[in-house]
Each structure stands twice: as C-alpha cells, then as structure tokens.
Amino acid sequence: MDQQETKLHALKGELPEDFYNRFDRLLAVTRLSVVPKGDDKTREQVAAYIKSVTGSAPQQEKDLRMSAALAFSEEAVRLEMQLDGH
C-alpha cells in the first residue's frame, strides 16, 4: 500500500482532482480495514465509507470486512471508468 500511495502522490496535479481524492480515500480506508482489531472509531470510519460507496452500511459488525471488500471493488471499477471517460 505504501507503493500505491507513493505512486498516487507523485501523480497529484496530473490526475483529475476527484479521482485523486477518491483513490486516496480508498487507500486510507483499505489500510484501516486490515487492522486486525480496530477500535470503534476505525469500524465507524470503515462503515461510513461503505455507506458512501454502496448506499448502505453493514447491518452487523461481523459483515464489516465483507461489505468493505465489496465497496472497495465497486469503487475501483468506478475509478477505472472515470479514467476511461465513462
């Protein structure tokens, strides 16, 4: 993830601002979601991200990681489409 962040930051100003911000947020939330035992604040941040991407937050804490994975893949597809001009 460090390499992805380094690459992204090197391209700041060359990428559309919205793409840059969304990809940066995707990396940050991915980092939060892989913390083995995140605290309540971490779980809330991940749930808020999921809701912002999918429109609904996970119903139960046990669904957080699976919901996050689905949100990450959905956002990755959207970002790719944005770069492709769709």
Percent of the chain past pLDDT 90, that is, above it, reads 69
Residues 14, 19, 21, 23: is their CA dihedral positive or negative? negative
d(CA 22, CA 26): 6
Decide if 50 contacts 57 (C-beta within 8 A). yes
Give the predicted TM-score (pTM) of the model: 0.83
pLDDT at 63: 87
d(CA 15, CA 39): 33
3 state SS of 13:
coil
Does 37 score more than 80 pLDDT?
Answer: no
Q: What residue spans define the domains of the chain?
A: 2-84
pLDDT tens digits, 42-74 = 999 999 999 999 999 888 888 898 999 999 999
